[in-house]
Amino acid sequence: MKSLWNEEEAKQYTDELGLRVYTSQLLGRDTNLVLHGGGNTSVKITEKNILGEDVDMLYVKGSGWDLETIDRPGFSPVKLDHLIKLANLESLSDPQMVNELRANMSLASAPTPSVEAILHATLPFKFVDHTHADAIVTITNNEKGKERIQEIYGDRVVIIDYIMPGFDLARLCAKQFAEQAHEKTEGMILLNHGIFSFADDARESYERMISMVNEAEEYLKREGAWDLDFSGAAATPPNIESIAKLRKDVSVTVGKPMILSTVSSDKMMSFSQRNDLATISQQGPATPDHVIRTKRLPMLGTSVSNYISQYESYFQTYAKNARDEKTMLDPAPRMVIDKELGFISIGKTAKDANIVSDIYDHTIDVILRAEKLGGYRALSGQDIFDMEYWDLEQAKLRKGGSSPEFTGEVALVTGAYSGIGKACVEDLLAKGAAVVALDITPEVTTMYSRADFIGLECDVNDEAQIKNSIKKAVLAFGGLDIVVLNAGMFPGGCQIKEMETDVWKKVMSVNLDANVVLLREVYPLLKASPKYGRVIFMGSKNVPAPGPGAAAYSASKAALTQLARITALEWGGDAIRVNTLHPDAVFDTGIWTEEVLQARAKHYGMSVQDYKTKNILKTEIKSKDVAELVSTLCSSSFSKTTAAQIPIDGGNDRVI
């Protein structure tokens, strides 16, 4: 591990809080130190209050901020003298502690301070850094972890036996640091938890952290516990129907749709196929911080009922002691390890699932290196239980908050790169869905960079590409709940007497045949949807009101509409809803350039605006209007509607 300090970068930060931001971001850049909001940092600053009085403040990382991206607003200013006084109390519940922290901030809009704020306050240094460095937790999650830490650092660090984060930990650290620290003390090690470094200079505190962690890494190398071999794992083609069924089982247990992300890398497959997996994977997470993010232990195999049965007493213990059983965490797993599928992470959103996956990727390294060092020994079952049902975590659950309509659900949209398809993608994302976007345009793969979106280049005329895209969708998110059949083509105007056979076949292939293949492939996934599958067919005004010169398009859309009706009949027994929209005059799509609009308006003797609104309601129809109707049809508002055909055209006299 090397220092990332850059003198030119550091010159941009001219004050103490700025330097605190900079070195925090440096720590956050290395996932071997912190992951997804883990770790925390602080700086002690003297500043004037509104009365002009000097006040010592602790600026500590606020809850919900990630060190890699933290900026000034991510640090919460708390009165230092009050924190010191709190540390001297005999007892203080964690909810009381959080209240005291918030009540003594100098900025009401700042985030809630880290629960380790008091600990930071008691350390007599201006800058304090805390990480869950992989190398440190590898060594401390070991039968002789404390002895090994003493061997590496001697008396340069204060060693704290494990205790749950919160007030009791802060008080213990303050007491032991005062008793053991001396002028050469460089850091503090919390067994099974992490490491602290500190100094009165931002760079020195940061580089002490890097130096101490590097010593731990070098120690693991000397002990032959660093290099890991993940080759030779047997890979099997993933069964996407099995994944979708597992997702439904998990979702039913949780009581709402969940996202499942499957990782079948060499590392995950190698770990999942170990003979000692049932032992080494069931001891506990690498740090208590990971308990909060991943919940409990991995489920081995794919039977949720077996997992719940295994931990039945665990959940019953909490139920008996819960102040409000409505806040009880669901018994579903958040991680699955299967010898055929590899590793599956579970979350209410794709982001949550990715966090679980990232954390366990590092946990595997910790476990296997600790095994090489003499044996992995994590937190006790009681410690895991206490962290999961911590007062502060339960308070978050009680606070709750509503989620967007489609949170935890997965939508697939074809023809997704532009026009109505793109609008559908945007609206479904906004309403909480994870979205898989298919389009023949290569740029679909870079439409968005976010955890809940994947764009796949796919020619819907190619059956193999369709199957591969659906497979990728299930591996990414666990299944499908919503399918929007939007891909289509509109050839140039041509009367039947001039129709070329190839044009006719191509239109039928894209607008009709491709959708038959796609429907066939998604059926078992929609059948396994936790909230029942939904399909939206994108028809056309040309179905009820065709015009001359559009035989291929009109016939293909009419056949597609008939296909939708039959699909509704066949799939209704599986509670899959199938509905059709018939848009017309949606002019903000790729085929309607300004030149085309002007030409059509001139043909009718109208202005462009009048041409856009030549319907009964005199209103303009936009792609987002169609997208919003798609989402509404897929929502609970239309839970009892199937086989509907709904125009979205502002009212067309020929249709009416």
- What is the distance between the alpha carbons of residues 480 and 60, in angstroms, rounded to a whole number? 42
Per DSSP, helices labelled H in 493-593 are 501-508, 514-527, 551-571
Helix then strand count (H, E) for the chain reads 26, 18
CA dihedral 158→163→164→167, nearest 10 degrees, is -70
553 is catalytic: yes
- What is the distance between the alpha carbons of residues 572 and 568, in angstroms, rounded to a whole number? 6
Active-site hit among 44, 295, 557, 612? 557
- What is the distance between the alpha carbons of residues 35 and 72, in angstroms, rounded to a whole number? 20
Strand order in the sheet with 453-457: 453-457, 434-439, 410-414, 482-485, 534-538, 577-583, 645-648
- What is the distance between the alpha carbons of residues 40 and 24, in angstroms, rounded to a whole number? 8
Q: What 3-state DSSP class applies to 75?
A: strand
- CB contact at 8 A, 281 and 338: no
- What is the distance between the alpha carbons of residues 479 and 410, in angstroms, rounded to a whole number? 7
| Residues 6+ away with beta carbon under 8 Å from 546 | 554, 558
Instruction: Enumerate the β-bridge partners of residue 300.
Output: 337
The residue with tokens 């003979």 is 275
Q: What 3-state DSSP class applies to 534?
A: strand
DSSP readout, 363-406? HHHHHHHHHHTT-B----HHHHHHHHT-HHHHHHHHH-----TT
Show the tokens assigned to 346: 């579970």
Q: What are phi and psi of 277, to 5 degrees?
A: -60, -40
Active-site hit among 79, 553, 611, 612? 553
- What is the distance between the alpha carbons of residues 461 and 342, in angstroms, rounded to a whole number? 32
Residue 326: count of CB within 10 angstroms of its CB:
9
Q: What 3-state DSSP class applies to 342?
A: strand
Sign of CA pseudo-dihedral 314, 315, 320, 321: positive
- In Å, the largest CA–CA distance within the chain is 97
- What is the distance between the alpha carbons of residues 364 and 361, in angstroms, rounded to a whole number? 5
- CB contact at 8 A, 448 and 455: yes
Task: Return the closest-CA partner of residue 323 out of 223, 234, 398.
Answer: 398
Supply the residues annotated as catalytic.
553, 557
